[in-house]
Amino acid sequence: VQLVESGGGLVQAGGSLRLSCAASGFTLEDYAIAWFRQAPGKEREGVSSISDRDGSTYYADSVKGRFTISADDARRTVYLQMNNLKAEDTAVYYCAAEITGWGTPILVERYDYWGQGIQVTVSS
């Protein structure tokens, strides 16, 4: 089981990025995939999740209306479209998989497999 993130980088405030999480070694069926982020000196926090069981999505209040999570089962890839980025969105972003398939609440201890993380930096 492997998760690989891509799409991070440096963007100005107000800009957009799309993160991708490519899964290998398993299909997305019956899994939930979530995005977490961790800023320097802060705890890792859940940002968004998507359940493959019923397609339900969840967003942290801080990103609602700006971020959109989606899944392409055929490509085994989950995306996080991030619009209107703010300086406070700067963090290392991780994708993670949870084997029950429900995904919420988005808690670090709930998730079973993790990617290596990718840096997102928003300049103000």
Residue that is written with structure tokens 């799409």 in the block:
7
Q: Write out the two tokens for 49.
A: 């999740």
Q: Write out the two tokens for 54.
A: 């019923």
What are the DSSP E strand ranges found in the chain? 2-6, 9-12, 17-24, 32-38, 45-51, 57-59, 67-72, 77-82, 91-98, 113-114, 118-123
| Whether the Cβ atoms of residue 67 and residue 82 lie closer than 8 Å to each other | yes
Q: What is the pLDDT along the chain (124 residues), one digit of tens a residue?
A: 899 999 999 999 999 999 999 999 888 887 899 999 999 999 999 999 999 888 899 999 999 999 999 999 888 999 999 999 999 999 999 999 999 888 888 999 999 999 999 999 999 9
